[in-house]
Amino acid sequence: MEVAIGLYEASQHDAVVALWHHCGLVRPANDPATDILMKTAWQPDLLLVAVAGGQVVGTAMVGYEGHRGWINYLAVGPDVQRQGVGRQILEHAEHRLADLGCVKVQLMVRTENRRVVGFYEALGYVEEPVVATGKRLSAVP
């Protein structure tokens, strides 16, 4: 599949949010519009969007704070999955991180989304013996 991966544009907002909903990535505590606003205010060059046939078909929200790279909101539309889009956008994200000097990238997979672990393993990712913890610093909107 011919895919163009570029930076997020405001005109893609509704399509990106719809894709995240369609892929089951949105949770009540994470408003996608707020997440996009925060990302575009901080490292806007790391919010990637894959487009094919004029349609948003994938995304990756990439982060780097100087120690580790992170990939969030990696999404591929169900109708174009298993066509290489996920691999292309993940590799693009990895190259962007490497260009910044990042030597290790991490991502988290929700326990209810275990079916994608094989996808990541096929691309060289390994499950690490860590416990992810988190703390909300603001109230749920």
Please report whether residue 101 resides in a domain: yes
Mean pLDDT of 92-120: 92
Which residues, listed in sequence order, are joined to residue 75 by a DSSP beta bridge? 59
With respect to residue 26, please indicate whether it lies within any of the assigned structural domains: yes
Our count of domains for the chain comes to: 1
Which pLDDT tens digit goes with each residue over 77-92? 999 999 999 999 999 9
How many other C-beta atoms are found inside a 10 Å radius of the C-beta of residue 138? 7
139 lies in a domain?
Answer: no
Q: What digits encode the pLDDT tens for the residues 37-67?
A: 999 999 999 999 999 999 999 999 999 999 9
**23 found inside a domain:** yes
Cβ 55 vs Cβ 15: under 8 Å: yes
Residue 53 structure tokens: 């046939």
- Residue 127 to residue 86: CA distance in whole angstroms: 18
- Residue 134 covered by a domain: no
Residue 49 has a pLDDT of 98
pLDDT value, residue 140: 53
Distance CA 9, CA 3 (A): 16
Q: How far apart (Å, rounded) are the C-alpha atoms in residues 70 and 93?
A: 9
Strand partners, 60: 48
pLDDT of residue 114: 82
Is residue 127 assigned to a domain?
A: no
> Looking at the domain assignment, is residue 141 inside a domain?
no
**Domain assignment of residue 24, yes or no:** yes
Average pLDDT over the chain reads 92
CB 36 within 8 A of CB 17: yes
Strand order in the sheet with 105-106: 4-7, 47-52, 55-64, 69-76, 105-106
**CATH code of the domain covering residue 55:** 3.40.630.30
Instruction: Find the domain containing 88 and state its range.
Output: 4-122
C-alpha gyration radius of the chain? 15
pTM: 0.91
Q: Give the pLDDT score at 95.
A: 96
